[in-house]
């Protein structure tokens, strides 16, 4: 697929899928919330694996969450790849066939990371809400706080994030990508106190989706200390979005900007891979 066709596809997906991620008055998502067990892991690769385990036994003994946590430290050096998943399995003492826990390979690893990060954001926002830390903040301030908190979770992998974006851009992964994005922006607006009963409910979420994705893309290229330039970029995008009362014309501009940036990033990753 050439760049122009990919741009058209992303534009059409952006204008349709983001708007139907949920419905007014509810923060339920298209996908059920998952319950995971937690586990801690370091960054070293083991010298041996548990012998004699067939794929069925591996699935029974190892959770996706544990495997994801073990694999993430290898993303910096091996990217969002099946090899990274295999290294994570070996680190836990399982044979490399354990990557079968992710039948869709890197796409499943990315989806699990996105869902896990969203749940961590939800937990952090609930903590702040219970502590009264959100009481004195405006809706835009809460949105900014939530976006920054979520971006910090991607920071350790930001140099490899363009590869994840390229995986998510594949047609077979588009539903997963937009579902995760839709759930994220819906959560953020929930904590910001949005109760819009009309078309603003949709425009706010679509606008925030465009703000978030464009800021995330900007962050992948940011070399400033502590990503201060990204924070400035986010502030400008929030001011431009004008969430309260934002219209469809402005929404179309934001979505178009996000789609063009997304296509450019995917093309850049594809060209780099061809040169390697």
The pLDDT tens digits for 31-45 are: 333 333 333 444 333
242: pLDDT strictly greater than 90: no
CA atoms within 13 A on the CB side of 87: 19
Does residue 162 contact residue 269 with C-beta atoms inside 8 Å?
A: yes
In angstroms, what CA-CA distances link 113 with 36, 118, 119? 12, 8, 10
pLDDT tens-digit profile of 185-232? Answer: 999 999 999 887 777 888 889 999 999 999 999 999 999 998 999 999
Distance CA 44, CA 160 (A): 19
Does residue 150 contact residue 117 with C-beta atoms inside 8 Å?
A: yes
Pick from 208, 192, 150: nearest CA to 14: 208
Give, to the nearest 10 degrees, the angle between helix 82-91 and helix 64-71. Answer: 100
Does residue 75 contact residue 160 with C-beta atoms inside 8 Å?
A: yes
Q: Give the mean model confidence (pLDDT) for residues 96-125.
A: 92
pLDDT tens-digit profile of 177-186? Answer: 999 999 999 9
In angstroms, what CA-CA distances link 176 with 7, 24, 181, 199, 271? 19, 21, 9, 24, 24
Locate the domains of the chain by residue range: 3-25+107-275, 32-103
Pick from 241, 239, 246: nearest CA to 200: 246
253: pLDDT strictly greater than 50: no
């Amino acid at each position: 697929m050439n760049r122009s066709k990919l741009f058209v596809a992303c534009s059409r997906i952006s204008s349709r899928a983001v708007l139907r991620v949920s419905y007014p008055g509810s923060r339920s998502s298209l996908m059920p919330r998952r319950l995971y067990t937690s586990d801690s892991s370091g960054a070293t690769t083991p010298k041996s694996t548990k012998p004699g385990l067939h794929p069925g036994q591996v699935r029974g003994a190892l959770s996706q969450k544990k495997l994801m946590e073990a694999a993430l430290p290898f993303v910096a050096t091996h990217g969002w790849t099946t090899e990274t998943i295999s290294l994570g399995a070996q680190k836990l003492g399982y044979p490399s066939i354990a990557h079968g826990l992710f039948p869709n390979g890197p796409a499943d690893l990315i989806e699990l990371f996105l869902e896990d990060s969203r749940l961590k954001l939800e937990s952090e926002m609930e903590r702040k809400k219970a502590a009264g830390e959100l009481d004195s903040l405006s809706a835009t301030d809460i949105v900014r706080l939530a976006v920054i908190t979520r971006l910090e979770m991607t920071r350790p992998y930001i140099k490899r994030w363009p590869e994840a974006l390229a995986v998510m851009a594949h047609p077979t992964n588009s539903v997963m990508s937009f579902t995760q994005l839709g759930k994220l922006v819906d959560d953020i607006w929930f904590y910001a106190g949005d109760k819009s009963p009309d078309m603003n409910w949709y425009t706010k979420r679509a606008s925030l989706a465009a703000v978030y994705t464009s800021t995330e893309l900007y962050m992948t290229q940011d070399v400033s200390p502590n990503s201060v330039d990204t924070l400035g970029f986010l502030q400008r995008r929030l001011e431009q979005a004008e969430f309260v009362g934002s219209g469809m014309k402005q929404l179309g501009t934001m979505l178009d900007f996000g789609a063009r940036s997304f296509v450019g990033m995917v093309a850049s990753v594809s060209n780099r891979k061809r040169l390697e």
